Amino acid sequence: MKLPDVNVKLAAASLVVALALLFGGNALVRMTRVSMPVERALRQVAEVKSYSIESTPYGAVLNVELGDVSDLSETVMKVTMAAAHLAGRDGVWIRIADSRDDTLRDVYHRLHFSLQEAIATGSFEDLERRAEQSAREAGLTEATIVVDSEYVYVSMSHGASQLYEVVPRRAHDAGAATSLRSVARSDYGSFGASGGVRIW
């Protein structure tokens, strides 16, 4: 049996065009179904100064730089809702960047033990008192601690500098993560079959 004459150059060019269309189409779908909805959602959040999306072995990472935030818990919820557009099977991490200075780092470092103690005991009254005292002693403009069922939100201001920390109250089961549920970054395992959003 005789094989038909095949133009190798034409076949190679066809393969290149097909691959370009395949990968270009994938990029276009990702941009219209993922990046654009995230961008639209984050534009609605006035506290977000800038953001970027990167890929890591642990899933996508949404890097968010925050400006002046009046309620960190509310801002994190809005960013989490926006990040849900990125959360596929591999999930997405949210990494919050701020403009902390050495004074804010020092106050947070001194407060960290009290923060972990409050999380372990479930008693946050002493934490708030210590935070206010540390803020006064360091000359901070503001120190706010908000607690909900999943996180402790710490926000501090010193002049034009801000510190934002979101600390999980308990370790979460990665298998139980849903598309909008956040879990701690210390769990590097799978996000579960439904993906999820996690705070870095």
Q: How would DSSP label each residue in 105-123?
A: HHHHHHHHHHHHHHHHH--
Report long-range pairs for 14-23 (Cβ below 8 Å, ≥24 apart): none
- Model confidence at 175, pLDDT cuts 50, 70, 90, reads very low
Across the range 1-30, mean pLDDT stands at 67
Higher pLDDT, 81 or 99: 99
Average pLDDT, the chain: 79
Is there a contact between 187 and 174 (Cβ–Cβ < 8 Å)? yes
**The pTM is what?**
0.72
| Rg for the chain, CA atoms, rounded | 23
Is there a contact between 144 and 135 (Cβ–Cβ < 8 Å)? no
pLDDT number for residue 171: 63
Checking if the pLDDT of 182 tops 70, the result is no
Checking if the pLDDT of 184 tops 80, the result is no
How buried is 7 (Cβ within 10 angstroms: 0-12 exposed, 13-18 middle, 19+ buried)?
A: exposed
Checking if the pLDDT of 94 tops 50, the result is yes
Checking if the pLDDT of 78 tops 50, the result is yes
181 sits in which H/E element? none
- Model confidence at 24, pLDDT cuts 50, 70, 90, reads low
